[in-house]
Structure 1
Amino acid sequence: MAVTDTNSWTGIREELLRRIHDRVWEPGAQIPHEADLAEEFGCARTTVNRALRDLAESGLVIRKRRAGTRVALNPPQRATLTIPIIREEVEALGKTYRHSLLERAYQPVPPMLHGVFHASLGEDVLYLKTLHFADERPYAFEERHINLDTVPQARERKFEVSSANEWLVHNAPYSRGDLSFSALNADEDTARILDCTPGTALFTMERITWTGDAPITHVKLIFAAGYRMRSTI
C-alpha cells in the first residue's frame, strides 16, 4: 500500500493488517511506536492510535502501557461471515425468488436502537419491512432501518425492483459489522407473515454495519421454519 493511501485510520489499519498477515511482523514481534508509524504514514499520532485500537479490539495485537504493542501470539480464529444477497441465496437452492415491500416510511430512530445505532436522533431514518419468497413460499421477513446521513441516496430508492438487502450490498460498502443470532417463538403476526404455527421456533439474525464510526443500517431477519445458515472457517 502506498503512503498516500494511508491518510485515514482505516487505511492505516489495512496496511498494518497486511504486514501482520504477510509476516513482516511475526507473532510476538514488537510493532513500531505510534510516533514512528505516524511519521512513516505522514499522519497524526491519534490516527495511528485509532487503527491500533481497532486491531487490539480484534485480538490481533496486544497493547500494554509502557511496553508498547506486539503482534498476538495466538490471534482469535473467526468464522468468515459475508452479508448474503437473499436473492442469490434462494436461487442457489434452485428456487425462484421475489420480494414484496410491505412498508416504507421515514421515522426517528426507535428507542430500542439508541444505544447501538448512533444516527442523528433529530433526523428520520428510512424504515422498511420486506418479505422475501422462495418458490412463492415465505423465506424471510426483514425489518430494516437505514441511516440517511450515511446513505443519502437511499432516500430516492423505492426498493420495489431490487431489495434493500441487495442494493446496500452493492452500494454501501461497510468497514465493520456486528451480528447476533437467536431463536424466536413466532407470535401471531409473525406466524401469519411466515405461514407457520404460532409458537414455532424461528432462526433470527440482527446485524448492524458501519462505515468508520457511522452506522449504515440495522436489520432484523426472521427466517421461515427449516432455515439453515452455513459459514466457512
Structure 2
Amino acid sequence: MTSTAPAQEWPADVRTLAIDVGGSGFKAAILDPAGAMLTERVRVETPYPCPPERLMSSVVDLTQDLGHRDRVSVGFPGLVRNGKVRNIPSLSRTAYDGDTDPALEDAWRGFDLAGALTEAFGVPTKVANDADVQGCAVVSGEGFEFVMTLGTGVGTALFLDGRLLPHIEGGHAPFRKGDTFEEQLGNVARKQIGNERWARRVVEAITAYDRFLFFDTIHVGGGNAKHLDPADLPHKARIVANTAGIIGGVRLWDLDA
C-alpha cells in the first residue's frame, strides 16, 4: 500500500473514489466517510490483453461520470510495494484464462501505478492489494484475522488487532498435488471440476492455512465465495459480501501508509 501525498486533513464529507480491479471486471463507486455508496457501482469487463496503459484508460473512462472525488483508493490483484507493481499474475495474460505473457510481465514489473493514477485523477491516490482492501472493510479488529478472496485467483491478507500487516502472496504457497492454492482454487479450476468439488477444496485450503497461520478468524470473500455454503465451512470462517472490495477503500485511508 502506498500514498503519493503526505497525510492531510480531509473535509467532514470527504468523498472517496474506490476502484476494485479484478481479473474479470473493474468496479468503482464514490463512497461517503462511513463507506456507504453515494453513487451506483459501475462495472466494465476487464480488457485483455491489459498492459498498464490500457488499465489506466479503462478506469479513467469507467469513473469519469461519477462526479467529484477528494481521493482515490484502488484494490489491485497483485503485489504492490511503494506504489509500484511487483507481481500481477492475472493481468500478465493475453486472455482471461490464457498463459502468462513475458512481454506483459515486463510491462507491469516496476510500474508506478500509484504515481500514474495520481496524475490521471489529479487527487491523492492509494493503491493496495485487493485482498488487503477487502479486509479493511470486514475485519473486526480482534485478534489475528486472515482474509482469503476467491476470484480469478486467490488473494490473502493478514490483520492483527485491526492493523494491516505487510502483504504476502499467500495464494502462491504450495497446497496439494504439487499445485499452489491459486492453481487449485482459482476460477479456471472451479470451472474444470465443478462447484461441489471446488467447495470441498476450499474447506481443505482453510484447514491447511490454519495449520501454519493459527488465525482466530478467516473472512472468505471475492466473487466466487457465493458458491460456498456457510454451514460447510469451519467454525472460524465467515463469508463476507463481495462489495467489501470497494467499501474497504475508505478505511484504507485510516491506516498507516
Which TM-score applies when normalising by structure 2?
Answer: 0.21
Pick 1 or 2: higher relative contact order, CA cutoff 8 A, min separation 6.
2
Higher relative helix content:
2
Higher relative strand content:
1
Which TM-score applies when normalising by structure 1?
Answer: 0.23
